[in-house]
A = this chain, B = another copy of it.
């Protein structure tokens, strides 16, 4: 449990772990079969050090997927956050894309137990992203803002999960379009529209 997260060694170790796992995932596509030993060997750090940074494998996966989602969003969004209904579309599209992407990792037997983790991490991230945006634009009470962000994040996210599990011949574009309309309506009151 490193104390100072600004210590260069700490940042470097975390970065090495993240990169190592990303490489391994891209190589073998099978999250389940990647052991802590594999990760730390690739990262050239000690296995004990891994546990000094993360409660356990699940806590790490949670952290990893969050960061990965954040990075993908940061790449997709101009300023790294939502700035208007226009960029909201980008976010929703990213959620759909990421879920479609991770779906393939989950097809291996044994991987399905990780699924909820990935999903929960994404929903949380989506929630804070929406909340940050709404708080800037808000014309109503904080409670109302938080609830709106919560409902919207779950709504968008849940729809994406549902679709990723069973696309029913619908393209992600179609779904994004439909979901966006509903989400916009839910957000409208808070945005003073």
Give chain A's interface residues, CB within 8 Å of chain B.
8, 11-12, 44-46
Contacts and interface: CB of A to CB of B under 8 A. Distances in A.
A185 to B, nearest CB: 48
Contact of A8 (B8, B11, B12, B44): B44
Contacts of A46: 8
Nearest to A15: B44
5 contacts: A8-B44, A8-B45, A8-B46, A11-B44, A12-B44
Nearest to A16: B12
Contacts of A11: 44
A12 B12 CA distance: 11
Contacts of A8: 44-46
A8 B46 CA distance: 9
Contacts of A12: 44
Nearest to A46: B8
Nearest to A12: B44
Contacts of A44: 8, 11-12
Contacts of A45: 8
A44 B14 CA distance: 13
A22 B46 CA distance: 27
A131 B44 CA distance: 35
A98 to B, nearest CB: 29
A150 to B, nearest CB: 39
A11 B44 CA distance: 10
Nearest to A45: B8
A43 to B, nearest CB: 10
A79 B47 CA distance: 34
A87 to B, nearest CB: 33
A8 B44 CA distance: 7
A127 B11 CA distance: 42
A2 to B, nearest CB: 15
